[in-house]
Amino acid sequence: MADVENLTDLFIHKLRRVYDAEKRLIKALPALHDAASSPDLKAAFQTHLEETEAQLDRLDRVFGLFNEKPDADTFHAIKGAIKDGEDAVTLDAEAAVKDAALIAAAQDAEHIEIASYGTLRTWAVALKKVEAVHALEWTVEEEKATDKRLTEIAKTLNYRAAEAPKEA
């Protein structure tokens, strides 16, 4: 963050990180979809992949509002959540247990995104970038809706996972 001298610089720095997150999630979500056994969970992952692709386009527009080219800066927190998702994909467990692990990793990523987009939206307000505020608010609401959808799916799957046979 050596190049950060003002709020606009900080905004662009954070924007580059969420850009990295979305690009990584676009690559990761198909594996989560394929590993899920619950039809509802598969559908949630597919819907979120489509939303994430649209969010990346929205980020391109936000970069333009700041006369910046879209560029990614490694977002280490999202890398950790994606690693947890990769671990869940390879989990050798009952289907409901694996689905519970997939949801947990996905919700970790959602919470990171909700916090990051919320921060960006707040900074865009302070910077008086109204178009950016609207674009970021739209994304925050999508991320919250995805988190809520995953929570609803987890309510059922977690009980199934709790009933899964235990190894002796």
Question: Exposed, middle or buried, 118 (CB in 10 Å: 0-12/13-18/19+)?
Answer: middle
Domain boundaries of the chain, sorted by first residue: 7-162
- Report the half-sphere exposure of 54 (CA within 13 A, side-chain side): 13
* This prediction's pTM: 0.93
Q: What is the pLDDT of residue 168?
A: 47
Q: At what angle do helices 130-163 and 95-126 cross, to 10 degrees?
A: 160
Of 110, 138, 137, the closest CA to residue 44 belongs to 110
What tens digit of pLDDT does each residue of 106-141 get?
999 999 999 999 999 999 999 999 999 999 999 999
Topology of domain 7-162 in CATH is Ferritin (1.20.1260)
pLDDT tens track of the chain, all 168 residues? 668 999 999 999 999 999 999 999 999 999 999 999 999 999 999 999 999 999 999 999 999 999 999 989 999 999 999 999 999 999 999 999 999 999 999 999 999 999 999 999 999 999 999 999 999 999 999 999 999 999 999 998 999 888 877 764
Distances (CA, A) of 46 to 28, 112, 116, 136, 151: 11, 19, 22, 21, 16
Q: At what angle do helices 39-65 and 130-163 cross, to 10 degrees?
A: 160
The DSSP annotation for 52-115 comes to HHHHHHHHHHHHHHTT--------HHHHHHHHHHHHHHT--S-HHHHHHHHHHHHHHHHHHHHH
